[in-house]
């Protein structure tokens, strides 16, 4: 491995200050994006019935009395282990009660049957609330059909009326997790081949350092 060059403190501080200008500009741009997001229009949703741990439940009741709801749509296959990316991402959320202060809730929705989904959540140490849309068109209607990809959706409730306000998928989901943010501040970064790194720095195939579902179960499941 080729390490970063060694310089004196003043030279290091000068380059750090130059980088900080770009970091601050990126922060301000993210603030502007969030401001535009708050000004998005919304679309009213029909009534949906999902299934939770206690049985069938209306989408509006998944809010738990709160006015805002975030859903992560977890990919699902008829297999022992589910998507490693979804499993790793969602298992990282262990302290969500702070959302109460924002009048919001964050839950998982999946196309898998609820019994299998809850068993899987237990096996991989997932602490979030899970709901199944296996018998509902809800997943397909919010860009997460059976056999399709993952995604995040956000909803606003006004009485019994539910509105969809925002959606993202792909790398848009990265902003919601700390894992990539921590890797990106490391000297060698994520070490994936697509990243722009100096010659001689370690690079591995994309996804190779990600935790797969069995890794998540081993590290965070009930056996730990």
In a domain, 2, yes or no: no
Residue 144 is part of which domain span?
43-174
pLDDT per residue as tens digits for the range 185-209: 999 999 999 999 999 899 999 999 9
pLDDT, mean of residues 21-25: 98
In this predicted structure, what is the pLDDT of residue 72?
98
In a domain, 20, yes or no: no
If pLDDT is split at 50, 70 and 90, which confidence band does 224 have? low
In a domain, 74, yes or no: yes
| Number of folded domains that form the chain | 1
Residue 154 has pLDDT above 60, yes or no: yes
In a domain, 10, yes or no: no
In a domain, 100, yes or no: yes
In a domain, 179, yes or no: no
Residue 50 has pLDDT above 90, yes or no: yes
In a domain, 222, yes or no: no
Q: Around 157, how many Cα atoms within 13 Å sit in the side-chain half-sphere?
A: 19
Percent of residues in the chain assigned helix, strand, coil, to nearest 5: 35, 20, 45
Residue 118 has pLDDT above 90, yes or no: yes
| Cβ-based neighbours of 72, under 8 Å, separated by 6 or more | 86, 89, 90, 106, 107, 108, 109, 128, 150, 151, 152, 173
Q: Read off the CATH number of the domain in which 169 is found.
A: 3.40.30.10
In this predicted structure, what is the pLDDT of residue 223?
62
Mean pLDDT score across all residues of the chain: 95
Note the pTM of the prediction, 2 decimals: 0.94
Q: Where are the alpha helices (DSSP H) in the chain?
A: 9-38, 59-62, 84-91, 114-123, 138-141, 179-184, 213-220
Number of neighbours of residue 134 by Cβ within 10 angstroms: 18
In a domain, 49, yes or no: yes
């Amino acid at each position: 491995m080729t390490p970063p060059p060694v310089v004196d403190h003043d030279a290091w501080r000068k380059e750090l200050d130059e980088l900080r200008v770009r970091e601050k500009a990126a922060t301000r741009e993210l603030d502007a994006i969030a401001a535009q997001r708050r000004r998005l229009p919304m679309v009213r949703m029909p009534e949906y019935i999902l299934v939770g741990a206690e049985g069938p439940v209306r989408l509006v009741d998944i809010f738990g009395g709160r006015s805002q709801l975030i859903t992560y749509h977890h990919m699902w296959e008829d297999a022992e282990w589910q998507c490693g990316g979804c499993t790793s991402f969602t298992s990282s959320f262990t302290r969500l009660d702070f959302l109460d202060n924002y009048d919001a809730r964050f839950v998982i929705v999946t196309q898998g049957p609820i019994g299998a989904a809850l068993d899987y959540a237990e096996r991989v140490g997932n602490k979030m609330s899970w709901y199944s849309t296996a018998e509902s068109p809800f997943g397909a209607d919010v860009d997460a059909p059976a056999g399709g990809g993952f995604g995040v959706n956000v909803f606003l409730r006004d009485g019994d009326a539910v509105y969809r306000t925002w959606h993202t998928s792909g790398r848009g989901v990265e902003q919601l997790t700390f894992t990539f943010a921590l890797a990106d501040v490391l000297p060698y970064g994520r070490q994936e081949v697509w990243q722009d790194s100096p010659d001689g720095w370690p690079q591995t195939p994309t996804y190779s350092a990600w935790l797969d579902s069995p890794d998540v179960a081993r590290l965070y499941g009930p056996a730990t």
